[in-house]
Structure 1
Amino acid sequence: MAFPIVERPDAEVETPATVRHAVVFDLDGVIVDSFAVMSEAFAIAYAEVVGDGPAPFEEYRRHLGRYFPDIMRIMNLPLAMQEPFVRESYRLADQVHVFDGIVELLLTLRVRNVRLAVATGKSGPRARSLLDRLGLLPFFAHVIGSDEVAQPKPAPDIVRHALDLLDVPPEAAIMVGDAPTDVASARGAGVASAAALWAPPYDVGELLAAGPDVVLRRPVDLLALCPAVPAR
C-alpha cells in the first residue's frame, strides 16, 4: 500500500492497516549527522591519493547510500582513496552527532516491541564501531554493512538480509533512508520506504522522484506508522 506523504512537521500521518514489526534504517543522514566528518575525510583522502585541487565532495554526496568502492568507480576516482578515507573517518568519529529526536524515537520503538536494524553503505565494522561509540548499538538487533552482502544498495540484498535476520516478512517492515538508493533497495526487497528529510538531502527533488511511500519531516513522524507490536 502507498502511505501518505507528510508535507508539514505538524501533519498527522495515517496509521497503515498493516502493523510494522520492523524498521530498517540507513545510517548516515538518518540516524547520524556525519556530513562534516565525511567531507573532511574525503578531502584528506583526495589530497593524499589524487593530489592538489578541490575534492569533489558534492558529487560524492550525491551517491551516498552506496558502498564507497562503488562510488569511486562511478566517479572514476582511485579505489586507493578508501584506506585514508576510512582511517580519517575513524579518527574524526567523535565529531559525528546523533540527530535530534532519534534517541527518543528508538526508545519508543523499543517499548513498542518494534525490531530494529541498520542497513548502511558503510562497512559493517565501521558502522558498528560508530554506533557503539555513540551509545546506540544496543537499540539494533542487527547492523549490516555493504561489505556483508553480495550486492550493496541500490540492490535489495542488504534489506533482504536484514529481514531474514529479523525474521520479518517484507510487508511487515519499513525502511527509512535519505537517498534514492535506499528507496530502490527497499522497493526491490518488497519493503515500504520512508524518506527522511530531517537532514536535507543533496537533492530533495531527486529523492522524491525515486518514489518513497512516505516522506517524514521529523523522526517522531515515523511513530504513526509503527504502532505497538505484541511481544513474541
Structure 2
Amino acid sequence: MIRLAVFDLDGTLVDSPRAIVATFGAAFDALGVTRPADLAVRATIGLPLERAFALLLEAQQGRGADEILVAEAVRLYRRFFDTIVLPQAPDLVFPGVAEGLARLREDGVALAVATSKYHRPADALLTAAGLREYFAEVIGADEVSRPKPDPESGQVILDRLGIVAEHAVMVGDTTHDLLMAKAAGMRSVAVTYGVHSPAELAVAGPTWVADTFLDVVAHLAPVPA
C-alpha cells in the first residue's frame, strides 16, 4: 500500500534543467569566470548549489575553489534564478504532472517534495508553476544537515507526516534520489526524461522505471484491470 509519494523537483516535476544551465552561465559571467560546458553543469543538477559551484569552479580554474568565490556564485545564482527560471515556470511543468498529482491526492496518497534546492527557491518555483497546493511538505537542502543522497530528507518527511518507509515511494530523475530512497527504506520510481540517463539510473536499482509522468502515476496508483 502506497500512502506517500515524495518527488524530486528539477527534472522530475518541472523541466527546469535548461533554465538552470542558463542561470549557472549568468552567474559565471557575473563572476568573470569562463562558463563551463552545458553538459558539465547538467551533471551537477541534483547536488546542493555549494557543491555544484565548487566542482565547476575547480574544473574551470584548475585548482580548489575558494569558499568566498563559491558563496558569491551561489548568491548570484539565486538572484538570477528569480529573473531567468521563475518567469518560465508555468511552461516548464512536464506533461501530465498537474493532472497526475491531482489524481494521487484524490486517491488519498500524501504528496511531498525533497529537493537539493533551498526551501525558498523550491517553494517559489512550485508556486510559480502552479503546483505548490498539492504538497503537504517541501524539504529543501537547507533544512537538513545531510542532503540527498543521504536519507535525512526522506526521513524528515516520513516523521512529519507519520508514515513508515514501507508505505512511501520516492520519484526522481537522478541517482541521488534513488539512493536516498534506498537508504531510507523507501521504494522508488526512476523517471527517464530528466537529467540522468536510463543506464545511470539502473545502477541505483530503482523499484520501477517511468518514461512519462503518466507512467509514474500508473506505478503509484495502478488502474484496476
Fold match by TM threshold 0.5: yes
Question: After superposition, where does 1:33-44 map in structure 2 within 5 Å?
Answer: 33-44=15-26
Confirm or deny: 8 A CA contact 2:17 2:45 kept in the other structure: no
When you count helix as a share of all residues, which structure comes out higher?
Answer: 2
Corresponding position of 2:37? 56
Corresponding position of 2:5? 23
1:223 aligns with 2:205: no
TM-score between the two structures when normalised by the length of structure 2 = 0.87
Deviations 1:104-162 (A, max 9, x none): 10010011010000000110011011111122111000111001001001111111111
Could you tell me which of 175, 200, 211 is aligned with 2:205?
Answer: 211
Gaps (5+ residues) in structure 2?
59-64
Confirm or deny: 8 A CA contact 2:191 2:210 kept in the other structure: yes
Gaps (5+ residues) in structure 1?
1-18
1:82 aligns with 2:74: yes
Question: After superposition, where does 1:8-157 map in structure 2 within 5 Å?
Answer: 19-51=1-33, 53-75=34-56, 76=58, 77=65, 78-79=69-70, 80-92=72-84, 93-96=86-89, 97-157=92-152
One-letter amino acid of the structure 1 residue matched with residue 54 of structure 2: R
Confirm or deny: 8 A CA contact 1:20 1:225 kept in the other structure: no
Per-residue deviation, 1:50: 4.3
One-letter amino acid of the structure 2 residue matched with residue 209 of structure 1: V
Deviations 1:82-125 (A, max 9, x none): 11111111112111310001011001001101000000011001
Confirm or deny: 8 A CA contact 1:25 1:118 kept in the other structure: yes
1:173 aligns with 2:155: no
Corresponding position of 1:198? 193
Q: Which has the higher contact order (CA 8 A, sep 6+)?
A: 1
TM-score between the two structures when normalised by the length of structure 1 = 0.84
Confirm or deny: 8 A CA contact 1:194 1:214 kept in the other structure: yes
Confirm or deny: 8 A CA contact 1:42 1:57 kept in the other structure: no
Per-residue deviation, 1:202: 4.0
SS of the residue 2:180 aligns to: helix
Alpha-carbon distance change, 203 to 221 in structure 1, aligned in 2, over 3 angstroms: closer
RMSD: 1.6
Alignment partners' CA distance in 1, 2:116 and 2:32: 23
Alignment partners' CA distance in 2, 1:174 and 1:198: 18
One-letter amino acid of the structure 2 residue matched with residue 210 of structure 1: A
Alignment partners' CA distance in 2, 1:154 and 1:50: 32
Deviations 1:53-91 (A, max 9, x none): 332332221122121112223333541211111111111
Runs of 4+ residues over 3 Å off in structure 1: none
